[in-house]
């Protein structure tokens, strides 16, 4: 299974970014391989429509779960349409911590 976490930096020890569409990095976590791959979000500075375009990136990567802070309305609709589950990470936690919390079912599901 592939998860995506929005992050302020490229490393799994970076803090979770609370904004989805304008997150600097998407970190994809492959649960079978236990690998983390960071991808810079090219839409972080884009003019508009960043929510749907970022959601498209997740779809194209085949992620089925997203861990982030907050979602805009347009991103929500795309993620919902694609059947991606969304969980809210605790403020200030790192990507690794958020992953652990997800595995222990401690995250609040927001979509």
Partner 1 sequence: MKLVVASGKGGTGKSTFSANFALSISRCRDVVLVDCDVEEPNLHLFFSGDMRESDVTVQVPVFDMERCDLCGKCGEFCRYGAIAVLPEKIMFFHDLCHACGGCRIVCPNEAISETERVIGKVWDAPVDEHLRLISGVLNEGEPNGIPVIMAAKEAAEGNDLIIYDSSPGTACPVIETIEGSDYAVLVTESTPFGLHDLKLAAEVVQKLGVPAGVVINRSDGKDDETEAFCREAGLEIHMKIPFDREIARLQSRGDLFSVAMPEWQERFVELYEDICTRTGGAP
Partner 2 sequence: MKRIAVISGKGGTGKTIITGALATLAKGDLVFADCDVDAANLELLFEPEIETTEPYRGLQVADIDQDLCIQCGNCEEYCRFGAIRYTDDRFFVDPVKCEGCAVCTLVCPTNATSMKDRESGKIFYSRTDRGPLAHARLEPGSGTTGLLVSEVKKRVNERAGDRDLLIADGPPGIGCPLIATVTGMDAVLIVTEPSTSGLHDLKRVVKVARNFGVDIFVAINKYNLEESVAARIEEYCEDEGIPVVGRIPFDPTVIEAIRSRKPVTEYDCPAADALRAMWERIASALGRE
- Per-residue three-class SS string for 54-74: HHHHHHHHCCCEEEECECCHH
If binding is defined by CB under 8 A, does position 50 make contact with partner 1?
Answer: yes
CA distances from 76 to 4, 56, 69, 92 (A): 15, 12, 12, 22
Query: 99 with 29: CB under 8 angstroms?
Result: yes
Q: Which of residues 83-102 bind partner 2 (CB under 8 A)?
A: none
Which position among 31, 42, 48, 81 is part of the footprint of partner 2 (CB under 8 A)?
A: 48
Given partner 1, partner 2, none, residue 45, with its beta carbon under 5 to 8 Å by kind, binds: partner 2
- Tell which one of 45, 83, 104, 105 touches partner 2 (CB under 8 A): 45
Give contact residues for partner 1 (rule: CB under 8 A): 43, 46-53, 55-56, 59, 74, 77-78, 81-82
């Amino acid at each position: 299974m592939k998860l995506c976490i929005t992050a302020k930096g490229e490393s799994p020890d970076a803090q979770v970014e609370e904004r989805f569409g304008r997150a600097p990095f998407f970190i994809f976590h492959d649960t079978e391989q236990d690998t983390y791959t960071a991808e810079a979000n090219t839409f972080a500075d884009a003019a508009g429509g960043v929510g749907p375009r970022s959601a498209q990136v997740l779809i194209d990567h085949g992620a089925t779960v997203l861990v982030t802070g907050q979602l805009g309305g347009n991103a929500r609709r795309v993620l919902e349409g694609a059947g991606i589950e969304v969980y809210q990470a605790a403020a200030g936690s790192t990507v690794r911590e958020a992953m652990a919390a997800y595995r222990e079912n401690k995250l609040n599901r927001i979509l």
